[in-house]
Amino acid sequence: MATLTLDQARPGMMLAAEVFDRRGRLLMRPDTELTEKHLESLRMWGVTHVDVDVADDEPELVEQLDPEVVAEVEAELDELFANAGPPHPFLDGLREAARAAALHKAGARPAAVGVS
């Protein structure tokens, strides 16, 4: 999952979480495939960010990124998880989520690499 601004979100992306307006009213449910009309409506309701699934488009994103950027992300994750201990399903999932978020961030802003 990645949190994107509406300017970064594209038609065809799948919502990973519910979207609420400023007053807490539910606007869209998870697993909704975004359309241009959805994005326009969300802007009208004052929504600025959405959570989208990134697992499906990660291989395509990695192919579009400079291999040096991907290597930098991997090296930073290796450093962050160096003392994580023996393999564990939770930590493996956490690392994959961090990788997906960092690659998505790198794809949105090629000059900025890293996990925040």
pLDDT digits (tens, 9 = 90+) for 5-35: 888 888 888 999 999 988 889 999 999 999 9
Vertex 44: Cα angle to 38 and 50 (nearest 5): 55
Place of tokens 């359309």: 35
Residue with tokens 């900025």: 112
In a domain, residue 116? The reply is no
pLDDT of residue 115: 41
Count the domains in the chain: 2
Residue 30 within a domain: yes
CA distance 116 to 98: 9
Any idea which residue has 């697992």 for tokens? 55
In whole angstroms, what separates CA 111 from the centre of its chain? 17
Q: What are the phi and psi torsion angles at 51 (to 5°)?
A: -100, 125
Are 10 and 45 in a shared domain? yes
pTM of the model: 0.50
Give the residue numbers spanning the domain of 98: 58-108
Residue 113 lies in a domain: no
Q: What is the pLDDT of residue 113?
A: 35
Q: In CATH, what number is assigned to the domain containing residue 27?
A: 3.90.105.10
Q: Judge if 67 and 35 occupy the same domain.
A: no
Residue 114 falls inside a structural domain? no
Amino acid at 55: A
105 vs 61: CA distance, rounded Å: 10
Same domain, 44 and 69: no
Q: Which residue type is seen at 54?
A: V
